[in-house]
Amino acid sequence: MRRRTAQILILLGAGGGIISVAWWLLFFFQLLGQNVKAASKCFYQTHAECEIVGILEFFVGIPFYKPELLWISMGVFFVGLIVFSFPSD
């Protein structure tokens, strides 16, 4: 039971991480095109410049990327890894 729960947490965390990358890419590629790497610091933390760009979400048609999903996903993933590392009953 514990291993199954750990596997689910790991999959949820990995899935959330993949969704975060896709969301970040979709939002900032719409605004910056090939220069999307300029927004790399907005991937893991919200800076003032990122929030200013967030005003443009109305024009992009995609909700403004928020890094909270990435952090929550990473937390769920690592909790899953920790639970998985315990010996099963």
Residue 89: predicted pLDDT? 60
55 or 76, which is more confident: 76
- Domain range annotation of the chain: 2-85
pLDDT, one tens digit per residue, over 18-45 is 999 999 888 888 877 888 878 888 888 8
- What percent of the chain has a predicted confidence (pLDDT) above 90? 44
pLDDT of residue 49 exceeding 70: yes
Task: Give the pLDDT mean for 51-76.
Answer: 85
Nearest in space to 50 (alpha carbons), one of 20, 27, 16:
27
Please write down the HEC assignment for all residues of 11-60: HHHHHHHHHHHHHHHHHHHHHHHHHHHHHHHHCCCCCHHHHHHHCCHHHH
For 59, half-sphere exposure in the C-beta direction (CA atoms, 13 angstrom radius) is 7
